Chain A
C-alpha cells in the first residue's frame, strides 16, 4: 500500500471515529435535554433583617437572615449617596445555590427610622440558580443610629 493510500485510510478512519464519537455523543446530549429541568418561575416574597458589619465612608456592609420563599442567609454591600442607595445583595438559600441581586433604592423619609424603596434585578446565580433571571421591588427601613435595616422584597425569578 502506498504511503498516500495509507494516509488516506488513516484520515478516513480518524474521520469515522470522530463522526462515530459525534454520533455517540449526540444521543447522549439529546437524552440529557429532557433531564435538564424546565425553567421554573417563582414569585418570591422575602423579608430580610440586616445587621451592619462594616462601614467605610459612604459604603455599608450588612449580613443577616432572610425568611420567606427562599429562607437563608444574606450579605449585602451598599453605596449611599445622599438619598440614593445602590449595591448588591447575595442570598444563600438553605436549599442551596445563591443569588446575587443588584439594587437601586431611594430614601423616602428622614428620621431615625428612614424608609426607602427601590428596584432590583438578578445579576448572577450559582447552583440551581446559575441561569437565574428576574427582577422586582423592595422597601424597608434603616435605623440611622445603628444602620441595621429590615427589607421586604417581591420579585419574579426564573431559573
Chain B
C-alpha cells in the first residue's frame, strides 16, 4: 500500500536520553517513531505525511496517553485540501471512548485528514488477553479558539469489533514549528475493567487513498484531496519535527529531528496555469 511506503524516510527515535545516539536510543528506548513523506515526494507538490509509531509493550507496559507531533512551519497543512468539513462528535463520545457504530464512517467523508492501521493490546484487570487490529482515521473537527479540534476513530477489526473515539487537536506552535498535532488516547471507563495499550500505529495524513465528494448541482464528484504541501525550496536546516509521548505511568519521552528531503533538488516555484 502506498501509504506504507516510507521512501524518503526520516527516522525519529523517541529517546529517553537526549544525549544518546540514534542507534543507541533505538536499542534502549521502548518507543520509536518514524516520520516520512511519500517515496515520490517532490518540492512544491502535495504529499502524505506518514507517521509510524512503535511501542515495545514488554519494556513500556504502561499505555501511551498522548502522542504529540510538532511539524515544521514550512509545510502546508492549512494549505492542503484536507479536512474541509468538520466532524462534530458530542463530548460524551470521548468520555465513553467506545461508541456506537451509527454510520460506516462516523464522520463526514470530507473531514478525513489521515487514515491508517493500529494494533493494540487489550488487558483485562492488567492481564493481556488479546492483540487487537484495527483501522484508524483522523478527522478535522471544529475550530475552538485558535485550535483545530480533531476526532480520531479506531475501528477494531479482529478479534473484537468495536469503535473507539478519541479527541485531539492541532494548536499553534512556536517557530520553527507550524503546529502541534496532539492525539489523546483516553483510557477506557472503569466500568469496562479493561485497558487498551497501543503498540503500533501507521497513519498517513493526506494519504492518496482518501477520497472526498464534491456536489456540483445534482451530481457528486469524487476527487482526491491534495495532501500536505511541500515548499518549493527545502529549508536549509531540513524539515524539523519534534515529538513527544506521554504514558499513563507519567513517563514522558521526547525528541527533535531534522532531515533534508532526500533525492530532490530545489526548484523555483512555478506559476499555476
Residues in A lying within 8 Å of B, measured CB to CB? 52-60, 80-84, 106-112, 144-145, 147
User: In the complex, which of the residues A56, A83, A112 contacts B232, with contact meaning CB atoms closer than 8 Å?
Assistant: A56
Tell me, in angstroms, the Cα distance from A103 to B243 when the chains sit together: 31
B44 is an interface residue with CB less than 8 A from chain A: yes
Chain A residues in 8 Å Cβ range of B170:
82
Shortest Cβ distance from A147 into B: residue: B79
B63 is an interface residue with CB less than 8 A from chain A: no
The answer to whether A53 touches B271, judged by C-beta atoms less than 8 angstroms apart, is yes
Known: A58-B73, A111-B86, A145-B214. A81 touches B78 (CB 8 A): yes
User: In the complex, which of the residues B73, B77, B84, B269 contacts A145, with contact meaning CB atoms closer than 8 Å?
Assistant: B84
Residues in B lying within 8 Å of A, measured CB to CB? 44, 73-79, 81, 83-86, 110, 140-143, 146-148, 170-172, 178-179, 214, 229-233, 269-272
Contacts across chains A and B counted by CB atoms under 8 Å: 93
Chain A residues in 8 Å Cβ range of B86:
110-111
The answer to whether A107 touches B143, judged by C-beta atoms less than 8 angstroms apart, is yes
Tell me, in angstroms, the Cα distance from A112 to B85 when the chains sit together: 7
Known: A55-B272, A82-B178. A144 touches B81 (CB 8 A): yes
Known: A82-B178, A112-B84, A145-B214. A54 touches B272 (CB 8 A): yes
**Min C-beta distance of A24 to chain B, whole Å:** 54
User: In the complex, which of the residues A110, A144, A147 contacts B143, with contact meaning CB atoms closer than 8 Å?
Assistant: A110
Chain B residues in 8 Å Cβ range of A147:
79
Tell me, in angstroms, the Cα distance from A53 to B272 when the chains sit together: 5
Chain B residues in 8 Å Cβ range of A60:
79
Tell me, in angstroms, the Cα distance from A104 to B44 when the chains sit together: 24
Known: A80-B79, A82-B78, A111-B84. A59 touches B146 (CB 8 A): no
The answer to whether A58 touches B146, judged by C-beta atoms less than 8 angstroms apart, is no
Shortest Cβ distance from B73 into A: residue: A81
Chain B residues in 8 Å Cβ range of A145:
81, 84, 214
Shortest Cβ distance from A113 into B: residue: B84
Shortest Cβ distance from B141 into A: residue: A110
Chain A residues in 8 Å Cβ range of B73:
58, 81
The answer to whether A81 touches B271, judged by C-beta atoms less than 8 angstroms apart, is no
Known: A80-B78, A82-B148, A108-B143. A58 touches B269 (CB 8 A): no
User: Which of A57, A80, A111: most chain B Cβ within 10 A?
Assistant: A57
Known: A52-B272, A55-B272, A110-B148. A83 touches B143 (CB 8 A): yes
Tell me, in angstroms, the Cα distance from A110 to B83 when the chains sit together: 8
Instruction: Give 23 CB contacts A-B under 8 Å.
Output: A52-B272, A53-B272, A54-B271, A55-B79, A56-B44, A56-B76, A56-B269, A57-B75, A57-B76, A57-B230, A58-B79, A59-B76, A59-B231, A80-B76, A80-B79, A82-B78, A82-B170, A84-B146, A107-B143, A107-B146, A110-B85, A111-B84, A112-B85
9 smallest CB-CB distances across A and B, nearest first, come from A57-B231, A80-B78, A58-B76, A56-B232, A56-B269, A82-B179, A83-B146, A57-B74, A57-B76
The answer to whether B179 touches A81, judged by C-beta atoms less than 8 angstroms apart, is yes
Chain A residues in 8 Å Cβ range of B172:
81-84
Shortest Cβ distance from B270 into A: residue: A54
Chain A residues in 8 Å Cβ range of B85:
110-112
**Min C-beta distance of A63 to chain B, whole Å:** 10
User: In the complex, which of the residues A53, A57, A58, A110 contacts B84, with contact meaning CB atoms closer than 8 Å?
Assistant: A110
User: Which of A56, A84, A108: most chain B Cβ within 10 A?
Assistant: A56
